[in-house]
Amino acid sequence: MLTVTGALRVLVDPRTEREGDVVVDDGSDLATTLDASGCVVTAGLVNAHHHLLQTAFRTLPGTRGVPMADWLPAMAAAYARVGHDPELYALAASAGAAEGLLSGVTTIADHHLNWPADATTDDTVALAAATVGAVRGLGGRLVFVRGSARDDPDRAAASADAIASRLLHDDAVGGVDPDGRLQVAVGPAGVHSDGEATFRALGEVAARHGLRRRTQANEQVDTAIALERYGRRPLDLLEEWGWLAPDVTIAHLCDVTGDEIARLAAAGVTATHAPGCDVPMGWGVAPVAELLAAGVPVGLGTSGGGSNDAGHLLADARLAMQVSALVGPQLPARQVLGAATEGSAAGLGRPELGHLGAGSAGDLCVWDVSGVADAGVADPVAGLLWASPGRRPRHVVVGGRVVVRDGVLVEADEHELAARLAERLARTPAVA
């Protein structure tokens, strides 16, 4: 039993707030108490779109301020120089998941797109297992998305089928293990990268295992390539290929029309906003207010280190709030915080995540708002986003288990994780 005491304010969800203690029943007889005096307590943040491998490849020369046509080969060359192996995947995932937990992210959806060209199905399972083990070892939740970027459709489908079959327990439901720590999904990179055969093949795997589907669409570059290659816009293709449906979440959506938003809402699709990637890549700003007004649930993701260079979801929530005024009304802080919690959870099909109400999974963050960075703040909940960019929570709890205490990881040393990744990269430097 975990009790969080003395909170200044508890955010149960974006619409209901109260003051007082929080009690989380994790099924344990061991009583644990966390001091939350001077703090705001929120549900654990849910990063709905990340690329964990890119944590090892941040700020690379040739990847900043360049077109996607130049960015992609620069990243691919870096991966090739370092090589793909379970050790690298585990170290990159450990660093990315640790960064997330230390900034309040209790669940990460890792859309993994980069696979060795000569990898066997067994190889891909080993790489996925290394990522899963790294995140679970720190106490976080992972949604592993078996992605594809120009992969052979049959090989991608065989790999996705094997990953779901071998990594999930036999009694998994909807691609989610019984303890909720691992979920498997599928997701081509987008119509700019993968064709109809890949979308249909991975869709068949999803149907067979009850997995959710995720993809990326309607960044400006995605629209331009779709028009050039097919003479049609990305959402037209996704609809034809069976990928506008309630089990589908689409990231980015910077370049969408009003009619397309209405189609997304009618199809029951959910969206993921990733301003920390879209803005520096020059893709624009998704019309979040318009999507929400149409009834499209919107989550929040950081995307990967190759475009964002950070996995701090609360910082990206702040950015989302700030840039929203460029494409519509300014989004209120509580609404954006809702996107980073319940909105993201909705896109994962995980109603137990992203809130502290009845039926919650017991994931929460304790945010200290008593210091000078929050001095003069009239509304401490809004201040979580507006004030103190880059803030870290005092405590983080996943499933009733404390995984960050007093700003420090419980299961690992963050400096050791960083040093181990640096040592691995130094053996085959990513930059010549």
Q: How far is CA 202 from each of CA 61, 98, 159, rounded to the nearest angstrom?
A: 34, 30, 10
Whether pLDDT at 291 is above 60: yes
Q: What is the pLDDT of residues 226-242, one digit of tens each?
A: 999 999 999 999 999 99
What mean pLDDT do residues 214-228 have? 93
CA 416 to chain centre: 24
Please state the pTM of the whole predicted model. 0.95
Question: Bridge partners of 111?
Answer: 145
Tokens 């090739």, located at residue:
80
The share of the chain scoring above pLDDT 90, in percent, equals: 84
Q: Which among 125, 110, 287, 268 has a CA at the least distance from the CA of 182?
A: 110
Whether pLDDT at 192 is above 50: yes
189-210: burial string, b at 16+ Cβ within 10 Å, e else: bbbbbbeeebbebbbebbeebe
What mean pLDDT do residues 280-298 have? 96
80 membership: H or E segment, kind and range: helix 68-82
Structure confidence at residue 417 as a pLDDT band (50, 70, 90): very high
Whether pLDDT at 251 is above 90: yes
Instruction: List, as one string, the DSSP characters of 198-265.
Output: HHHHHHHHHHHHT-EEEEEE--HHHHHHHHHHHSS-HHHHHHHTT--STTEEEEE--S--HHHHHHHH
| Pairwise CA distance, residues 274 & 329, whole Å | 18
What Rg, from alpha-carbon coordinates, does the chain have?
A: 20
Helices 121-138, 86-102: inter-axial angle, 10-degree rounding: 30
Angle at 137 between CA 134 and CA 139, to 5 degrees: 115
Q: What is the pLDDT of residues 43-81, one digit of tens each?
A: 999 999 999 999 999 999 999 889 888 988 899 899 989
Question: Bridge partners of 214?
Answer: 249
Task: Supply the pLDDT for residue 1.
Answer: 72
The DSSP symbol for 422 reads H
Q: What is the mean pLDDT of the chain?
A: 93
Cβ proximity of 271 and 373 under 8 Å: no
Task: Supply the pLDDT for residue 14.
Answer: 62
Q: 12 — phi, psi (to 5°)?
A: -75, -40
Task: Supply the pLDDT for residue 432.
Answer: 42
155 membership: H or E segment, kind and range: helix 153-167
Task: Supply the pLDDT for residue 431.
Answer: 47
Cβ proximity of 425 and 56 under 8 Å: yes
Task: Supply the pLDDT for residue 379.
Answer: 93
Amino acid 324 reads S
| Pairwise CA distance, residues 226 & 157, whole Å | 23
What tokens appear for 188 in the block?
Answer: 């081509």
Assign residue 175 a region: left if phi > 0, alpha if psi is -120 to 50, beta otherwise?
A: left
Q: Which among 290, 241, 311, 352 has a CA at the least distance from the CA of 48?
A: 311
What tokens appear for 169 in the block?
Answer: 């327990």
Q: What is the pLDDT of residues 29-52, one digit of tens each?
A: 677 788 888 999 999 999 999 999
Task: Supply the pLDDT for residue 235.
Answer: 98
| Pairwise CA distance, residues 249 & 215, whole Å | 7
Cβ proximity of 15 and 337 under 8 Å: no
